[in-house]
Amino acid sequence: GAAGGGAAPPSSFVGLLDIFGMETFERNGYEQLLINFANEKLQALFVSEAVELVRAEFVSEGIRVELIDSPDNSAVLELFEGAKRRGGYPRPGLLSILNEETASPKPPDDARLVEALHRRFAEHPAYRKPAAAEPATSFTVRHFSAQVTYTAAGGGGAGGGDVARSFLKKNKDELHAKLPALMAASRWPFVRDLFLARAADSRRGEVARQFAASMKELTETLAATDQHFIRCIKPNDRRTPFDFDEALVRSQLQSCGVLAAACVAQAGFPYRRTFLSMLDDFRDLLTLEEQRLAWGGSAAERKAMVRKLLTQAGLADRRASSGLGTSRPHLEESRAGGVRRRGLPAGPHDGLRLGGPRGAVRGEGTRAARAARGGRAGAAAGGGGDVRGAKGEARRDGAR
């Protein structure tokens, strides 16, 4: 143990952070505001980690690292946390204004709070004032995944709103001033640790202020760790197998940041199959001797053959060449599709396509074309026979 009887912080640990994602209901209140702020902080960390992983892969493959254009929710975080101004006082954010109104000696008035937000953020890109049909004490935040409208109190003005939904009422720390000190003196370590920091701070802080400080500590801890992300998607609300509710799944993919992560990969080189796999997909463009070389040659020879494919399709410019790493081609989707469109004749090869919206190239078309043209291809090769690689994937039958 450390001096003073406290336990020393662990040098290594395994932590588990469980969070659902953005909350959007028919009516969103104070709790949704803080939960969605937490999601914005974690989303920024997630995108930063995803970009860094892509950048590290580029470096390991010997690819020149350029600026990766990734989804950015900095405007939303600035709305919540405020902005630092050079040589001046920081510009207050939404949470700061909420805390100031909570600490005000005036009677709590959510209408006054929302008016202060409107004055401060009317021109902010992540903020929207209520439309005519929306409650007067509402405001909308353009989050990274969706727009969410929050309603502070049911009506407008002091005495006219719903106290149970009041942002100012919920943001006020209702604990008795002496309770944290009493609980910090508990004989139970767990209870004592919960209140030690609170007892040391004599101020009656606002809940949002404490929540923001807790989020800052959490993100700093996460940033100092090796992170692994697991996204759990609920297929339907009926608990039935093999039943995917498209709207529900899409909403979850958007709210938990999976689509934003896909945009990070798209900003770089989303086609990242091995040289051998790419040559297998486009082997109808290769001579029989080139096919033997592809499966029996070195990585450098396979790389040279991929470069030749790009040249034949007229796509071997500086960016395409710079994306050819040491073990795999890193290509833009348009270039992988360009090899198909320009390198293969029309007809059976039209089956070769990009799988899904942003998937990898699939070779069903080449296999169908090979079956349709087997006799002609075998005769051109001089009588047929098999060409097999280490995995036995490539085979060309003779005249049928």
pTM beyond 0.75, yes or no? no
pLDDT band (50, 70, 90) for residue 168:
very high
Contact of 181 with 193, CB cutoff 8 Å: no
For 148, the 3-state DSSP assignment is: strand
pLDDT (0 to 100) of residue 220: 92
- Both tokens of 315, joined, read 């796509």
pLDDT (0 to 100) of residue 9: 56
Q: Cβ contacts of residue 15 below 8 Å, gap of 6+?
A: 221, 225
- Residue-wise pLDDT for 191-241, tens only, equals 888 887 666 665 557 899 989 999 999 999 998 888 888 888 889 989 999
In this structure, which amino acid lies at residue 119? R
Angle at the Cα of 368 (from 367 to 373), degrees rounded to 5? 95
Does residue 88 have a pLDDT over 80? no
Does the CA dihedral 120-121-122-124 come out positive or negative?
Answer: positive
Percent of the chain with pLDDT over 70: 68
CA distance 315 to 159: 69
- Residue-wise pLDDT for 38-67, tens only, equals 999 998 888 888 777 777 877 787 776 665
Contact of 262 with 254, CB cutoff 8 Å: no
CA distance 157 to 111: 5
Does residue 33 have a pLDDT over 70? yes
- Both tokens of 50, joined, read 């995803």
